[in-house]
Structure 1
Amino acid sequence: MPKCTDGAVRFGKVGRRVVEAAFDGGDIVSDGGSLLLRQVDERIGLTRMAAAALGDPRRKASVRHDLRSLLAQRVYGLCCGWEDVTDHNTLRHDLAVQTAVGRDEALASAPTLSRLETSATMAHAVALNRVLLEQFIASRDGAPVELVLDIDATHVPLHGQQEGAHFHAHYDNYCYLPLYVFCGQDMLACVLRPSWRDPASVLSALVKLIARRLRQAWPEVKLIVRGDSGFCRSKALRRFEAWGIDYLIGLQKNVALEWRSAIAMQALAEAYEATGTKQRLIGEFTYAARSWPRERRVIARLEHSAQGANPRFVVTSLQGDATELYERLYCARGEAENRIKEAQLDLFGRRASCSRFAANQMRLLLAALAYTLMINLRRLGLAGTELERACTATIRVKLLKFGAAVLRNTRRVRLFLASHHPLKDVFLSAARALAP
């Protein structure tokens, strides 16, 4: 590597002026918008609730950084794009981040934050999942009539000797398979699982715990579970019916289902040959797989195009028009995939590089807390602005990642922000909306 110095670097001239740059500007930070995260956190009490749920077994007389500060530092760092704990060896001296966390001294170092993750247990995972659910309940203004719970799984690739690593042929990699539960934009739970386990292995137990708490808060709420064919298991369907939970779940294609729809598919194929345009039909019938104790309603979406036949099947306990249920309700589950991308890619939920399984579960949940913070920033601070529908990465780049000079003395901390920032009106609007 070249030897770096603190001297000025010249960039030629602009007119008669010499252009120079040097790293001697003093307390200039790159995360000038991080104070918005503090306001959202104070508003919803996220990191305080998480710290209370985890508990702190450390000897208090020897503790320099309380658990709430550690969680806030790590979660705010993820929101601002700092995915690794090693980033905090430098970031701990950033005055804007110190102020956001609520400290006026150096924050925790990377080893301290690493111990927070590596000391995690599965009991901590249960506690933080409970925090996610309580945050969702607190975010609702009144009792909802109906809630749709989106169940989806994805993979977290592994590149080391992590505990529980297993090769998955579908993803052609060693990986974990975390299970997510969303309701709209809100994440209600995320559970890390080894890839050798059935995708639906913890589905019914997780839904039962969530449904029990939701019905404690709102006894009359109607619950609907929505998911793809990877979660269609006879045991899960029986339990949902016993618990009074409706479902709309994809059904894997098989010979029996294709035989039931063979006449309609042949008609669509002939119509396509005659017109040259894609043909589509939605119908329904009753069907019972060999493992089912009785017949259930199945909605069939049949298509024929240049690529050939493309049938899809969905099993449901819901009443109503089949077309409406498929197009309006079932197809909307794709939005949960966008939310998973935010949590995993924009907020670094895929960085499972710890050797212990429980530590990687903690990392997944820290990303989930960061996701919860960001969607509440969007919901509470950005409503009515041009960023009200922006994804996490866009909000970070346009509203959190901008330079500021910081002046801190005994009386105040003041951030000098760029006078010509393109979105200063959005920033000011969010700050006022989030004010105590």
Structure 2
Amino acid sequence: MQCNTNVTVTADGGQLSNDAGLVLFQEFLHRINFRQLANQCLKLPDQRRFWKASMIDIFLEKLLLDVAGYLHDSSANDWQRDPVLAATLGSSRLVSQPSLSRFFKRLEDADLDDFRKLIWQVAALAFRLSGQSRFVLDIDSTHCDTFGNQERSAFNAHYMAYGYHPQVVFDQESGLLLDALMRPGNEYTGKEADKFVETTFSRLSALPQSTSVIIRGDSGFAAPKFYEMCDTHGVDFLVRLKANSKLGKLAETALVDCPPKYEESKCVYHEFKYQAASWGKARRVIVCSTHTADELVPWNHAFVVTSLASEAPETLFKTYRQRGNAENQIKELKCGFGFDKTDSSTFARNTARALITGIAYNLVQLFKQLFVSEDRRSTISSLRFSLFHIAGRITWHARRVVIHLASNYVYKNWFSRLMDEVHQLAT
């Protein structure tokens, strides 16, 4: 080292693990019977004649790679030599990067639907354990960059980039991903959003404890078919409307008796009934009209169409604005788990990668809900730093394997307490 010439750094410390803390997450997966749940949901095709690791084994390794933050398949080559993972998972179940590539190559379109089903099943398990009965959903779309001539990649004028344009829907309270649909990059934000949410609505209504569901969306989802789908399933909605001349005139008419003062800022909430030409019936539109001090424009209007009849417009706008949390959840899904990584050449394989990261994301959300409830906003990066990426080594005593965590591990008391809580988890 140049800062201290008496110190030399080498990478020959022996068979140590940098991910010994993952035993906590493996124990958590065991306690919630995740392997059994995955076997029930996934019917992965496997026509191999000689194999050591099953398709479920390979899927679980990819899942753990995503949880640990190793988002490149080549990381599997080093994991094969990890002593702790080899001891806990079994060395025969740890596969190399070529095996992961062949895993994705064998997947079929039906398997993508199974992955989406597993995303929901993890969320449903979380709802059952928490007893959550009220749901506020956020539907949105996001962008995944592609590079080269990847299948179904297309230019998106909004993002000014080539890629995919998936739709996602989250539950606000738990932060859980309820469904995800990968699409070509040139598809409009809200295209066929009614079909996308229909399955989620049906699943939520089937929950025994479900009492109410509200869904929020930006102006990209302002479509009559979307409203009608919500009506059919008894789901209330709050959807932003793009301003137009007719809406503007209606809002200005309602404010004739309260003109703003040029030097004072002012905000007025009001509402009216409105029916666009494509709507089957008139609907309630709430308006937030604001004037900023010293601006020449009298009013700036924001419009939201809703099926909620009793709440005051100000209350509903406050509820609608909280949908900004969905951006944080999308950021965590992409930056924390690699939802937007498109390493494969085909659309189906890239979709499978994204959906597996969605499953990993939900499992971590469930873990936080159960054991890190004091700070559920903590990101996967902080969990990796404090709980998963821990130095460790193993020793053998008779037929038992002992995992030794670093003696100077700062969070060892917390880790020990969490392990006890995982063991006591009743599912």
TM-score (normalised: structure 2): 0.90
Residue 326 of structure 2: SS of its match in structure 1? helix
Residue 21 of structure 1: SS of its match in structure 2? coil
2:334/2:340 contact within 8 Å kept: yes
Rounded to whole Å, the distance in 1 between the matches of 2:258 and 2:143 is 36
Aligned counterpart in structure 2 of residue 347 of structure 1, from 337, 344, 366: 337
1:380/1:433 contact within 8 Å kept: no
Residue 399 of structure 2: SS of its match in structure 1? coil
**Structure 1 residues 423, 298: CA separation in 2 closer, same or farther (over 3 Å shift)?**
same
Rounded to whole Å, the distance in 2 between the matches of 1:127 and 1:280 is 48
1:165/1:174 contact within 8 Å kept: yes
Equivalent position amino acid for 1:322 in 2: P
**Structure 1 residues 298, 374: CA separation in 2 closer, same or farther (over 3 Å shift)?**
same
Residue 260 of structure 2: SS of its match in structure 1? helix
Residue 276 of structure 2: SS of its match in structure 1? coil
1:136 alignment partner in structure 2? 123
Deviation at 1:12, TM superposition (A): 4.3
Residue 291 of structure 1: SS of its match in structure 2? coil
Check if 1:304 corresponds to 2:281: no
Check if 1:373 corresponds to 2:363: yes
Aligned counterpart in structure 2 of residue 401 of structure 1, from 382, 389, 400: 389
Deviation at 1:298, TM superposition (A): 0.6
- Could you tell which deviates more after superposition, 415-424 or 333-342? 415-424
2:71 alignment partner in structure 1? 83
Aligned counterpart in structure 1 of residue 263 of structure 2, from 269, 274, 280: 274
Residue 204 of structure 1: SS of its match in structure 2? helix
Check if 1:189 corresponds to 2:201: no
1:32/1:417 contact within 8 Å kept: yes
| Equivalent residues in 2 for 1:164-183, closer than 5 Å | 164-183=152-171
Contiguous gaps of at least 5 residues in structure 2: none
| Equivalent residues in 2 for 1:7-18, closer than 5 Å | 12=4, 18=6
Rounded to whole Å, the distance in 2 between the matches of 1:132 and 1:255 is 42
Check if 1:412 corresponds to 2:400: yes
Aligned residues: 417
| Equivalent residues in 2 for 1:243-258, closer than 5 Å | 243-258=233-248
Residue 149 of structure 1: SS of its match in structure 2? strand
TM-score (normalised: structure 1): 0.88
**Structure 1 residues 34, 413: CA separation in 2 closer, same or farther (over 3 Å shift)?**
same
Check if 1:294 corresponds to 2:285: no
Rounded to whole Å, the distance in 2 between the matches of 1:292 and 1:223 is 22
2:66/2:337 contact within 8 Å kept: yes
Deviation at 1:342, TM superposition (A): 0.8
Check if 1:236 corresponds to 2:235: no
Deviation at 1:265, TM superposition (A): 6.8
Aligned counterpart in structure 2 of residue 97 of structure 1, from 79, 85, 88: 85
2:44/2:107 contact within 8 Å kept: no
Residue 19 of structure 1: SS of its match in structure 2? coil
Equivalent position amino acid for 1:160 in 2: G
Deviation at 1:63, TM superposition (A): 2.1
Deviation at 1:41, TM superposition (A): 1.3
Equivalent position amino acid for 2:113 in 1: V
Deviation at 1:266, TM superposition (A): 8.1
Equivalent position amino acid for 1:36 in 2: L
Residue 85 of structure 1: SS of its match in structure 2? coil
Deviation at 1:48, TM superposition (A): 3.9
Runs of 4+ residues deviating >6 angstroms: 264-269
Residue 288 of structure 2: SS of its match in structure 1? strand
Deviation at 1:166, TM superposition (A): 0.7
Deviation at 1:144, TM superposition (A): 4.5
Contiguous gaps of at least 5 residues in structure 1: 1-8
Rounded to whole Å, the distance in 1 between the matches of 2:210 and 2:35 is 30
Residue 123 of structure 1: SS of its match in structure 2? helix
2:214/2:237 contact within 8 Å kept: yes
1:284/1:299 contact within 8 Å kept: yes
Rounded to whole Å, the distance in 1 between the matches of 2:266 and 2:105 is 55
Aligned counterpart in structure 2 of residue 150 of structure 1, from 111, 134, 138: 138
**Structure 1 residues 283, 410: CA separation in 2 closer, same or farther (over 3 Å shift)?**
farther
1:181/1:188 contact within 8 Å kept: yes
1:46 alignment partner in structure 2? 34
1:389-432 residue CA offsets vs partner (Å, 9 max, x unmatched): 31112111222122222335652332222223222222122111
Identity %: 27
**Structure 1 residues 141, 228: CA separation in 2 closer, same or farther (over 3 Å shift)?**
same
Deviation at 1:296, TM superposition (A): 0.4
- Could you tell which deviates more after superposition, 26-35 or 36-45? 36-45
Residue 63 of structure 1: SS of its match in structure 2? coil
Rounded to whole Å, the distance in 2 between the matches of 1:143 and 1:424 is 31
Residue 149 of structure 2: SS of its match in structure 1? coil
The alignment yields a C-alpha RMSD, in angstroms, of 2.4
Equivalent position amino acid for 1:428 in 2: S
Check if 1:207 corresponds to 2:197: yes
1:177/1:194 contact within 8 Å kept: yes
Rounded to whole Å, the distance in 1 between the matches of 2:397 and 2:55 is 26
**Structure 1 residues 201, 23: CA separation in 2 closer, same or farther (over 3 Å shift)?**
same
